[in-house]
Structure 1
Amino acid sequence: MHLPLLVVTAVPAEADAVRAGADPDHVVVAPVGVGPAAAAAGTARLLATGRYRAVISAGIAGGFPGRAPVGATVLATRSIAGDLGAETPDGFLTVDELGFGESVVNADPTLLQALTTEIPGAIVGDVVTLSTVTGTQTTADRLAKSYPQAVAEAMEGYGVAVAAAGLPFAELRTISNPVGPRDRAAWRLKEAFAALSTASARLWTACG
């Protein structure tokens, strides 16, 4: 018997977009809440009450200009807790640098390779998980410098990755807006949701 794939999103609109493309016989889709804490708790609850072959954190995201344009599909090589750490007079220290844990979870390499093959044109790079998404150019520049391999920012991937606890994990995002000053008029939610549905149609082929 093939175990199903679990895909978790933050909000119902993202879950609907995934369901519009995903194979309903083999892919379970559930919205678990916004932010890394809600994502981790919701994913852990689902994993405690069901058996799955892999876990994917999916949804829309902000793309770093010059790395992931609006409308692009992104696959994470690593999901990074970008604001887990401490401020100091000399700048931000990650939880790793403080010696208190790890702020980076690698995507499962086999799953990532399969997804990359099945989703042509997907941009592969780090995805930064933030509790507060970027709204200023100053923060955008700081993040881009701190995470030179980051292609997108979102709010759940690291939490889902931690909750996956040994199961193959990946993060899939489609870009609705650039990272930086918030300009809702420039967001392309419809296009990002459509891209998410298109990418989701390939999930079971990659994971099955």
Structure 2
Amino acid sequence: MVHRILIVTAVAAEADSVAAGLGPDAPETAPETAWEPLSLPGGLALRRHAGGVDLLVGGVGPAAVAAATGTALAHASLTGAGSGTPYDLVVSAGIAGGFAPHAPIGTVVVSGAIVAADLGAETPDGYLAVEELGFGRSTHPVPPSLTGPLSAALRAGDRPHTVAPVLTVSTVTGTAGRAAELAARHPAAAAEAMEGFGVAEAAAAYGVPVVEIRAVSNAVGPRDRAAWRIGEALDSLRQAFALLGPAVFMNPTVFVEAK
């Protein structure tokens, strides 16, 4: 069965780790020729893998990545056969801050929900999510039928991971007070990043399932660049996709059953 997955990262380093994990088209294919470059409107560049995966660098922050993801989905709808987008799944992928004790550095977080943590209003009585204001949404739940196969593949490869909400913020947390506030508001959250909700909004507009996969590079809290482990997180992301590629993303039987 033909299937195609769209994976969206914020920056090229994350996309490179995902691509390295998914590997070349075939064992005899040289890594530098394994992915076919494709141009999209707006100057966006897509990498296409013969195994059914498209990889897009969408930009930093929810607005930029929503625009880029929407462009890729619209382009696929216009150029694909039949009606609607040919994508079966959209994945927001990259590195993130982790909330202690749920997600230590190096942990992979699979989103049980994708949450816009600062889409709402501050009031004298506290924060109100956009739903409480009477319009919009701030959460995209991810069903166990999607997270289950991903978790199973990571578990089979002995990759430390957790399934939990991932928060999307427009301003990265840099103080203990802000970290405590977010943890109190979202006690189950395991990670914080800047793109997931933007990707999810674009995917939802086209009726495509979405999930977020993050490798933790630092603890959410006071900004301490010396404690960041970006290289370790990127390697963890690569290892995660090396497990997830053949087990889920390039396995149409597993994915169709998961849907």
The TM-score with structure 2 as length reference comes to 0.78
> Is contact 1:108–1:170 with CA below 8 Å preserved after alignment?
no
State how 1:35-74 maps to structure 2 within 5 Å. 35-50=61-76, 51-74=86-109
Q: Tell me the distance in 1 between the aligned counterparts of 2:98 and 2:208.
A: 27
Match of 2:26 in 1: none
**Cα deviation 1:19-63 (Å, max 9, x = unaligned):** 001153222111100111111111010011122221100000000
Match of 2:192 in 1: 153
Q: Tell me the distance in 2 between the aligned counterparts of 1:112 and 1:168.
A: 11
Q: Tell me the distance in 2 between the aligned counterparts of 1:48 and 1:108.
A: 25
Match of 1:8 in 2: 8
Residue 130 (1) aligns with residue 172 (2): no
- 1:119 aligned counterpart, secondary structure: helix
* Structure 1, unpaired ranges of 5+: none
> Is contact 2:14–2:234 with CA below 8 Å preserved after alignment?
yes
Match of 1:91 in 2: 126
Q: Which has the higher contact order (CA 8 A, sep 6+)?
A: 1
Larger-gyration structure (1/2) = 2
Q: Tell me the distance in 2 between the aligned counterparts of 1:68 and 1:99.
A: 33
> Between Structure 1 and Structure 2, how many residues are aligned?
208
Match of 2:117 in 1: 82
State the one-letter code of the partner of 2:199: V
Structure 1 residue 114, shift from structure 2 partner: 1.0
Q: CA RMSD in A?
A: 1.2
Residue 101 (1) aligns with residue 101 (2): no
Q: Which moved more, 1:21-30 or 1:127-136?
A: 21-30
* Structure 2, unpaired ranges of 5+: 24-48, 77-85, 252-259
> Is contact 1:108–1:168 with CA below 8 Å preserved after alignment?
no
Structure 1 residue 108, shift from structure 2 partner: 3.9
> Is contact 2:147–2:163 with CA below 8 Å preserved after alignment?
no
Q: Tell me the distance in 2 between the aligned counterparts of 1:117 and 1:185.
A: 33
**Cα deviation 1:142-168 (Å, max 9, x = unaligned):** 000000110000001011111112212
Match of 1:181 in 2: 222
- 2:140 aligned counterpart, secondary structure: strand
The TM-score with structure 1 as length reference comes to 0.96
Q: Tell me the distance in 1 between the aligned counterparts of 2:222 and 2:201.
A: 29
Structure 1 residue 202, shift from structure 2 partner: 2.8
> Is contact 2:115–2:166 with CA below 8 Å preserved after alignment?
yes
- 2:192 aligned counterpart, secondary structure: strand
- What fraction of aligned residue pairs are identical, expressed as a percent? 52
Match of 1:139 in 2: 178
State the one-letter code of the partner of 1:27: V
Q: Tell me the distance in 1 between the aligned counterparts of 2:143 and 2:202.
A: 14
Q: Which moved more, 1:23-32 or 1:12-21?
A: 23-32
Structure 1 residue 203, shift from structure 2 partner: 3.0
> Is contact 1:8–1:30 with CA below 8 Å preserved after alignment?
yes
Q: Tell me the distance in 1 between the aligned counterparts of 2:152 and 2:89.
A: 17
- 1:3 aligned counterpart, secondary structure: coil
Q: Tell me the distance in 2 between the aligned counterparts of 1:8 and 1:107.
A: 17
Q: Tell me the distance in 1 between the aligned counterparts of 2:102 and 2:67.
A: 31
- 2:190 aligned counterpart, secondary structure: strand
